[in-house]
Structure 1
Amino acid sequence: SPGGLTGSGTAGSITVTGLTNGTAYTFTVTATNPIGTSVPSSASNSITPLVIPVVTNPTTGKIWMDRNLGATQVATSSTDEAAYGDLYQWGRGSDGHQIRTSGTTSTLSITDVPGHANFILSSDDWRSPQNSDLWKGETGTNNPCPSGFRIPTEAELTAEINTWSERSGVGAFGSPLKLPLAGVRINYDGLLSYVDSFGYYWSSDTPMSGNARTLYFRAWYTNGILWNNFNRARGQSVRCIKD
């Protein structure tokens, strides 16, 4: 379902085109040779093709996901909860820790993949020893972005900021990216803070041990766009850029 597709080939995959984004499909297969045609196979499990929704900044030419990772929609305001999305610890993959209500643990991870869905409490990094090579590019270890996307660099985020109407939460939402004030998850206690008043967004840059470069902005303060080196164990927003 839908019918009408035919394909042929030896053992391997057959590419299906023309599917509608978000529509569920099932597939049945028949085999044909000079002797005849086989009985159709049982219907496959339902498959729903998804296209990553994107937005392009006409000034920089860069293509981005149109929402934060984990968000269910594009922001309709700076304080649109459905657009806040998840809060990632720098360098971790999408293992469940990024969910705002995930459990916590004080046990640091000795590997790049902790093997659980808990938010790791720490004064600086969730991993010991630290690994500053995570999240570097589309093929980087633990890249949480969809295929073809990656964590942006500080330079790429700065280029976007330079096109905004003002350097504040107002400018962030008014930009093509529509960045909301999603807040932060505190690294030492796992509590949410500054929701509706600050936005914190990770870059892939790690100039200091235990820290990573973060773009953050305030709701009420003009020229309030700032950069800082924040602890990698903090939970912050991620906006992916097309590689």
Structure 2
Amino acid sequence: MKRIFTFLAALLVAGSVFAQSPQGMSYQAVIRNSTDELVTNQSIGMQISVLQGSADGTTVYTETQTPTTNTNGLVSIEIGNGTLVSGDFSSINWANGPYFIKTETDPEGGTNYTITGTSQLLSVPFALYSKTAETVTGGISETDPDFNASIAAAITEEDTARWNNMANDTNKIQDINLSGTDLSITDGATVDLSVLQDGTGTDSQILTLYNNKYLYISNGNSITLPYLIREADGDPENELQSISINGNTVSISNGGSIELPAETDPVYSSSVANDITTADTTNWNSKVDTLIAGTGIAISGDTIKSAVTTYSVGDFAQGGVVFYVDETGQHGLVCAKEDQSTGIRWHAGTYGSTQAKGDGPYAGEANTSIIIAAQVAIGDDGNTYAARICNELQITEGGKTYGDWYLPSMRELLLIAQNIEIINYRAWANGGSGLDVFPEYWSSTEWDTDQAVEVSFWWDGGGAFLEYKRHTNNVRAVRAF
């Protein structure tokens, strides 16, 4: 019996414009028959069940529907609006999860269900969950002892009315005015400032230096400044002097001089420094340093600037098209400008667990190495497969060859899906090809012994599914820089 991995979207469908809970959720799946062919433009039979607790848990609701697939094998239904078999969809308490959706399908349109799949409902539909508090009737009595003991418990309707009045911006802005000794504000009181005056009419005072010796202020005290005239030689104009050197003589202007003793340090006397002359020091001071541009810096005239290259999503660089950059703008991920295969298996011919479980950005590189090493032990029939074809890829762009390609992880493929339009445009502009929206692309993220994760670009932002490792999918290699 073949299982399908379905893409479940819990979309709320409002029944009216009132605050009522919708009683249904949207569900989509791609239908294939027992020979792995799409079932297109055909009425099919489906039985949908909501299981509580686990994938084999209690059935709380079951219904049947007979929808019709489209040209791509896609079927869309609304769970909760089918033919009731058991249970009541509107009475499901979504807080008592987890819940699982089990689908049973008859591609011939009957009730001989030959395709079965079960997947967990990872997020509760918000409107379905919130319907349990759609109305409140009757009075509400506050019993919280902390609230009853607080100041807030004494707030009345009159208090809130005053509070609302205080929110009026027009009564916050006022003018202040001084007229004589009267200080006032608009719509407020007036204060008389005359009591602060001492009656003299002025607070101004004069600072005076007398005879280069006494400093005093009017209507105040004075101090004596003897050092303005009592310095050593009685001449206040010779305090600032210049120092100079001539040969071994050091002198100051308007003063004396000293002779420097001869150098007696044997280490200095035997060194190159002993032969340095005054002319040498002049040439030394005139030397201009020469800077040479190198890794990370560039020089233009008198300007030194960073030569670090930054990248943006959509750039054609580093061997392919950039689809992710980190916060520095200097590092990220690129994908090849064309597919490496349009139909290749995931494993090397034998089912087995490789433990390649990484699913985030940059995880694909380690996954690829793990897969190739594990397949040797599990069983390799000698034919190529998704991880191996990426690992052995060599691409030359701009005269440089890049050989560190790998099979992308699930989330690396989803990052590509988010930027598929600019990636396809840049790939075509550089002689490559666009990413197909159908069929799917293999990721390096393993699910279990038999299945791995594939990503479809059919939906905006991409969709992740499970597929048997023997199935053939497209491959687009990526690399980190």
Q: What TM-score bracket applies, with the shorter chain setting the length?
A: 0.3 to 0.5
- Could you say which structure has the larger radius of gyration? 2
TM-score by length of 1: 0.40
TM-score by length of 2: 0.22
